């Protein structure tokens, strides 16, 4: 969670400038404060208004704008925790490497103490030019960090190095730069996420609406806190959280086979997956045709992976989920006990806003002494941060036991 972290985003004049809007949106979605500064050439590719709307903050472009702030480069330079320069042109690199202060962005870079992250984007010839590479070396020697551009087709039609790095890679670098708090460092966390798919025939399956968002948000948050994360994921449409080891599975039995060997080596397990409780008894290897009478589906029980972990847990902290429409507390307490969990998170699953797959979650946290904590409906990243805070509180007591 990037709640109230302060990122200054410097945008310079490249066709990739529109991608800065995507990154801005992703940061703001996590409640990060983003202030955007643009060069004049950047404003030819994308308007300041776009960033102003996305961030809800003014966008600065001029050193001498006649605004009420007389020296914006100094106040802006003092504000951020990190500066992200994206897309960064060869010109911005050259100006910074030679200590120029000839526009607002260059001047504030010169005046700033915050760590500086570069995400360059340019034509491959400009990128490979020894002058550009010398400038980079110089800045790296001064402590600047570079997010290596990718190779591929460039806007000019040529192919080669110089493409702006993928958004996921840039966001991962931002997180890495922001997180010095490594409260889970040295801990191993196993997280399950997403639905499972239980095949019925060659192309059909039984599944549910789980998007995997909660489990993925937990994995990202745990990784940000320095944990070694293994994410066992059913089929979802989410990008893999950066730095997380991911094992992809389809069925409940595949999830069980992936989870159980990992479980023995782990400190914390968070079972956020919506595992299908039943599977068709016999999956037909071919596609069933509709010209026969509607077939009956006979079902059989899937293994309860969390129950199994509860039975054989030793030092592990075990966290489970439940989705309930009625009697949330009672059902949550019963389920926590049945599965020998240290903490259970009970999802409201009654109204349309609380339906499986919703962007936000409204949950209860019930601990081992049946204390209930109700969280408001909020973004799943926020919920993930609170869950991990509570798990962290369990860690020392738990692991002090013989």
State whether residue 89 is helix, strand or coil. coil
Cβ nearer to ligand CTP, comparing 227 with 309: 309
Residues, the chain: 402
Task: Please report, as residue ranges, which positions from 260 to 279 form the binding site for ligand CTP (by CB under 6 A).
Answer: 271, 273, 275, 277
Q: Which of 156, 237, 284, 312 is catalytic?
A: 156
- Alpha-carbon torsion (308, 314, 318, 324), positive or negative: positive
Q: Within 13 Å, how many C-alpha atoms sit on residue 391's CB side?
A: 29
Cβ nearer to ligand CTP, comparing 302 with 382: 302
Q: Residue 1: name the closest of 25, 31, 35 by CA.
A: 31
Cβ nearer to ligand CTP, comparing 323 with 366: 323
**Residue 317 touching ligand CTP (CB under 6 A):** no
Taking the complex as a whole, how short is the minimal distance between the CB of residue 324 and ligand CTP, in angstroms?
Answer: 6
Q: 322, 328, 361, 366: which one contacts ligand CTP (CB under 6 A)?
A: 322
**Residue 305 touching ligand CTP (CB under 6 A):** yes
How far apart are the C-alpha atoms of 36 and 24, rounded to whole Å?
9
Cβ nearer to ligand CTP, comparing 171 with 322: 322
Q: 87, 320, 362, 363: which one contacts ligand CTP (CB under 6 A)?
A: 320
**Residue 323 touching ligand CTP (CB under 6 A):** yes
Taking the complex as a whole, how short is the minimal distance between the CB of residue 381 and ligand CTP, in angstroms?
Answer: 19
Q: Give yes or no: 230 in active site.
A: no
Taking the complex as a whole, how short is the minimal distance between the CB of residue 189 and ligand CTP, in angstroms?
Answer: 14
Cβ nearer to ligand CTP, comparing 305 with 361: 305
Q: Residue 188: name the closest of 146, 215, 219 by CA.
A: 219
How far apart are the C-alpha atoms of 174 and 27, rounded to whole Å?
9
> How many residues bind ligand CTP, per CB under 6 A?
15
Determine contact, residues 17/87, Cβ cutoff 8 Å: yes
Q: Which residues pair with 139 in a beta bridge?
A: none
**Residue 223 touching ligand CTP (CB under 6 A):** no
> Applying CB under 6 A, which part among 23-31, 66-74, 151-159, 315-323 lies near ligand CTP?
315-323
Q: Which residue has the tokens 């925790």?
A: 81
**Residue 184 touching ligand CTP (CB under 6 A):** no
Q: 163, 213, 335, 348: which one contacts ligand CTP (CB under 6 A)?
A: 335
Number of C-beta neighbours around residue 112 at 10 A: 20
- What is the C-alpha end-to-end distance of the chain, expressed in Å? 34
Q: 252, 258, 318, 365: which one contacts ligand CTP (CB under 6 A)?
A: 252
Taking the complex as a whole, how short is the minimal distance between the CB of residue 205 and ligand CTP, in angstroms?
Answer: 16
DSSP string, 183-214: TTTT-EEEEEESB--EESSSS-EE-----SHH
Cβ nearer to ligand CTP, comparing 7 with 344: 344
- Residue 172 corresponds to which tokens in the numbers above? 């991962």
**Residue 306 touching ligand CTP (CB under 6 A):** yes
How far apart are the C-alpha atoms of 147 and 154, rounded to whole Å?
17
Q: Which residue has the tokens 């966390």?
A: 189
Q: Which residue has the tokens 């592990």?
A: 316
Q: Which residue has the tokens 């805070």?
A: 389
Q: Hey, which residues are catalytic here?
A: 156
Instruction: State the residues that interact with ligand CTP by CB under 6 A.
Output: 192, 252, 271, 273, 275, 277, 302, 304-306, 320-323, 335
């Amino acid at each position: 969670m990037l709640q109230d972290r302060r990122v200054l985003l410097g945008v310079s004049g490249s066709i990739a400038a529109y991608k800065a809007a995507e990154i801005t949106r992703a940061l703001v979605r996590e409640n990060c404060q983003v202030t955007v500064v643009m060069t004049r050439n950047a404003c030819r590719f994308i308007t300041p208004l776009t960033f102003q709307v996305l961030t809800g903050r003014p966008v600065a472009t001029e050193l001498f704008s006649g605004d009420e702030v007389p020296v914006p480069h100094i106040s802006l330079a003092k504000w951020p925790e990190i500066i992200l320069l994206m897309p960064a042109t060869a010109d911005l690199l050259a100006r910074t490497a030679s200590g120029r202060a000839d526009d607002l962005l260059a001047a504030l870079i010169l005046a700033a103490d915050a760590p500086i992250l570069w995400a360059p984007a340019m034509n491959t010839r400009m990128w490979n030019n020894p002058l550009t590479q010398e400038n980079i070396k110089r800045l790296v020697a001064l402590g600047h960090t570079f997010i290596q551009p990718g190779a591929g087709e460039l806007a000019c039609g040529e192919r080669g190095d110089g493409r702006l790095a993928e958004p996921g890679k840039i966001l991962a670098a931002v997180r890495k730069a922001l997180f010095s708090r490594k409260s889970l460092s040295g801990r191993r966390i196993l997280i399950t996420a997403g639905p499972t798919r239980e095949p019925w025939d060659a192309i059909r399956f039984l599944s549910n609406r789980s998007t995997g968002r909660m489990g993925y948000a937990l994995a990202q948050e745990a990784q940000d806190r320095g944990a070694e994360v293994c994410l066992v994921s059913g089929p979802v449409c989410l990008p893999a959280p950066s730095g997380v080891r991911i094992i992809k599975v389809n069925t409940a039995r595949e999830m069980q086979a992936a989870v159980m060997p990992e479980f023995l080596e782990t400190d914390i397990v968070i079972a956020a997956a919506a595992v299908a409780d039943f599977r068709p008894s016999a999956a037909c290897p071919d596609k069933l045709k509709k010209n026969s009478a509607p077939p009956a589906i006979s079902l059989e029980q899937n293994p309860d992976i969390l129950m199994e972990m509860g039975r054989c847990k030793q030092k592990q902290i075990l966290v489970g989920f439940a989705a309930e429409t009625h009697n949330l507390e009672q059902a949550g307490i019963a389920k926590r006990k049945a599965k020998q969990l240290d903490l259970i998170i009970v999802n409201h699953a009654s109204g349309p806003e609380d339906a499986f797959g919703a962007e936000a979650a409204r949950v209860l946290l019930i601990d081992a002494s049946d204390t209930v904590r109700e969280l408001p409906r909020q973004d799943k990243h926020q919920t993930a941060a609170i869950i991990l805070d509570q798990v962290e509180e369990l860690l020392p007591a738990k692991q002090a036991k013989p």
